[in-house]
A and B are shown apart, each in its own frame.
Chain A
Amino acid sequence: MSYFWVIVALVVVLALAWRFLGSYMEAVFAGRVRFFAWAERPVYRLIGVDPEVEQPWQRYAGALIVFSGMAILFTYLIQRLQGSLPLNPQHLGAVPPALAWNTAVSFATNTNWQNYAGETTMSYFTQMAALTVQQFVSAAVGIAVAIALVRGFARRNSPTIGNFWVDIIRCTFYVLLPIAFLAGFVFVGEGAVQTLAGTVTVHDFLNGTTQVIARGPVGFMEPIKQLGTNGGGFFNANGADPFEDPSALTNFLSIALILCIPVALTYTFGKMVGNRRQGAALLAAMAIIFGTWVGFSSYAEHQPNPAVAAANVVSQHQGNMVGKEVRFGSMQTTLYNVSSTQTSTGSVSGANDSFTPMGGFGLLTGMMLGEVTPGGVGSGLYTILLFAIIAVFIGGLMIGRTPEYLGKKIQAKEVKLASFGVLVMPITVLVLTAVAVSVPAGRAGPSNAGPHAFSEILYAFTSQANNNGSAFAGLSGDTAFYNILGGVAMLLGRFAIIVPCLALGGTLAAKGAVAESAGTFRTDTPLFIGLVIGVIIIVGGLTFFPAVSLGPIAEQLSKGLF
């Protein structure tokens, strides 16, 4: 019953975010919000950008690629040099090259896949100046791409789609920074640690325990980790660690932060194209899939853990508690982990690896649908718009008319770009998983045996190619093989979708509007919502069903232990 109220509270919070954060973001990107203009202007002057001048899509994409490359370089160098940099009370040495590469790509692509334990690998300087910075910046880049694509729909005969530099600076200053800073107070107030004082050694005379406890600047990293759908935590256990996610309240706040921008962007979209019902239609498609997955996974995690049941010593009436924290309970942990896998966040408040086979299936398939429900910040919206274009194309084929979407003719070029963007992720996942299970270096990774071992590898590449970053953490990913291949998966999953999206934005912006006629296929109706959901499920199902059968489904159907 209390879980019901958690869901109600979440719906209320997200409804408010949808309406108010959504319209606020529209105003921010239209340049109507200016209270930080005094801080913006010197930055534009320093980097030599005229905020009034817009870019065509090629220049927008060029700036984005170069900037992201620079982000990878900065993040890589800080990790390599951390031994000589300040704020390193544990005297941690340089991060090894392959791991530093993987981590740099991971944070710059909004993935936050982590092949390391933060508390014994990354100095405070690295956590703050490299990783936390990328949690802001990569989120801003994702949102900027979505806004640029939506401008393509909203504009008529326009050669430009916005200015990349202005978009990311405004997004950071007006959206990410204020919300993250405010939420930081809640995290620390509830018990998250936030200090630069290094580890603390305690000795309990009651039980004779001596502990060296890792601390760090965590409480203010948490909010941007969630808000930017990044997911990379300070500690190895991520959101399960009480210093990161100290209470059920911060756990709920995390869920709300994860979902608020992806949900609100559908309102921003509706407002920008001048028809809020269009945004509501996309939100409905997202919400129906998300709700189904939450229900399915919650049910699965309320079932007993098979291995614990085999021991036959305890009642599991609270559900599967292996790898879960008492203060959250099994249901809220599941809601958190489902939210995080369907948004490209990848933070966890309990061990994904220890979910029941069907619970794990829920997490894995949530990512396989392309992370559009509601998806990562920006990436959720731009990817579902690709699905929407494919949906109007299919709808057009069925009734034999040239498809239109939001007053723009959808022609061969647009359909090709959208199909390319949608297919990059499955191809990357399946090819790399096949490579990994075919070579000894790949097969050495999983710690579990049987079908679960296959799931661990499949999960790793699904997570990285979707820029999610969550893990079936039983995989030992800190090897040259997984570090390098994972880096490739993350780059493809990010930029091989972003570039077609920006191209699409440019092509659409240049088009004029077609007048709505009796033959126009309405895209704000339940029929269209159903069509979009159908396309998402069919594309995901057709591409991934064989692979999923070998992993979680085989595990669910088998009777023994491995």
Chain B
Amino acid sequence: MLANLRRSFLLSLVFLALLGLVYGFAGTGVSMLFFKHQAEGSLVKDGGRLIGSAEIEQAWTGPRWFQGRPDASLLTNKPGQVIVSGTQQWGPRSKELEAFVAAKAALLKREGIKPTNELVTNSGSLVDPDISPDGAYAQVDSVAKANHLSVHAVNALVASHVHGRELGFFGAPYVNVLELNMALYSLERSAGRG
């Protein structure tokens, strides 16, 4: 018993050092060396200003911008506090979920957008940065009108930002909303309206 206690204590220390610290620091080191951008959180800059992470959803209101999933109102952090992901868990027969979906769809329809599934439902993480290509195309008319751009140009913008399935079959096709809106912003700037 005593020998086992001593062995357990020493081995726990060894594991703490090796599997906790050495492994963690080595992982961080090689990540910084090879994948600095991703390791730091895929941060997006515009002229030196840190404007977001390509992987963390922001709240966009239409029709000036393409909108993402309706997650922002469900986050529990107050302004200035750390975002805590994945805090809303509605069951499949939740009345609250029905009301949430109906309200979001009504809002989109008022803006002239035909709602798609992911545009009215919360994601798992509540920071899902993506929408489906259908969800982006559904917003083309209203975005073009609000920004005085041609539907054709905005359509082409969406088309050039569709990410296909990885390696052709993993997952689902998606459009990153922050990327798309950044591109929309530069399109406006080049059209002289930025």
* Interface residues of A, Cβ cutoff 8 Å to B: 2, 5-6, 9, 43, 46-49, 62-63, 66-67, 69-71, 74, 90, 117, 119-120, 128-130, 132-133, 136-137, 165, 169, 172, 177, 180-181, 184-185, 188-197, 199-207, 209-215, 217, 219-220, 235-238, 240-243, 246-249, 251-252, 305-308, 310-311, 313-318, 320-329, 332-333, 348-351, 353-357, 359-360, 447-448, 450, 452, 455, 472-474, 555, 558, 560-562
Contact = CB atoms under 8 A, between A and B. Distances in A.
A6 B169 contact: yes
Given A314-B116, A560-B93, A322 B8 contact: no
Contacts of A310: 98
A16 B168 CA distance: 22
Nearest to B101: A311
Contacts of A311: 98-99, 101-102, 105, 120
Given A137-B15, A242-B125, A247-B166, A207 B65 contact: yes
B5 A243 contact: no
B14 to A, nearest CB: 6
B123 A240 contact: yes
Given A2-B165, A200-B43, 12 more contacts: A71-B8, A132-B24, A172-B15, A189-B38, A200-B53, A201-B50, A202-B51, A212-B83, A247-B170, A306-B93, A307-B101, A332-B170
Interface in B14-61: 14-16, 19-21, 23-24, 26-28, 30-32, 34-35, 38-43, 46, 49-56, 58-61
Contacts of B15: 133, 136-137, 172
5 contacts: A47-B7, A201-B50, A205-B49, A241-B85, A311-B101
Nearest to A219: B31
A193 B166 contact: no
Interface of B: 1, 3-12, 14-16, 19-21, 23-24, 26-28, 30-32, 34-35, 38-43, 46, 49-56, 58-61, 65, 69, 77, 79-95, 97-99, 101-102, 105-106, 115-132, 165-172, 174, 178, 181-182, 185
Contact of B28 (A46, A194, A448, A555): A194
A192 B38 contact: yes
Nearest to B185: A206
Contacts of A62: 1, 4
Q: Which of B31, B56, B83, B170 has most A Cβ within 10 Å?
A: B170
B28 A195 contact: yes
Contacts of B4: 62-63, 66-67
A354 B90 contact: yes
Contact of B51 (A128, A185, A203): A203
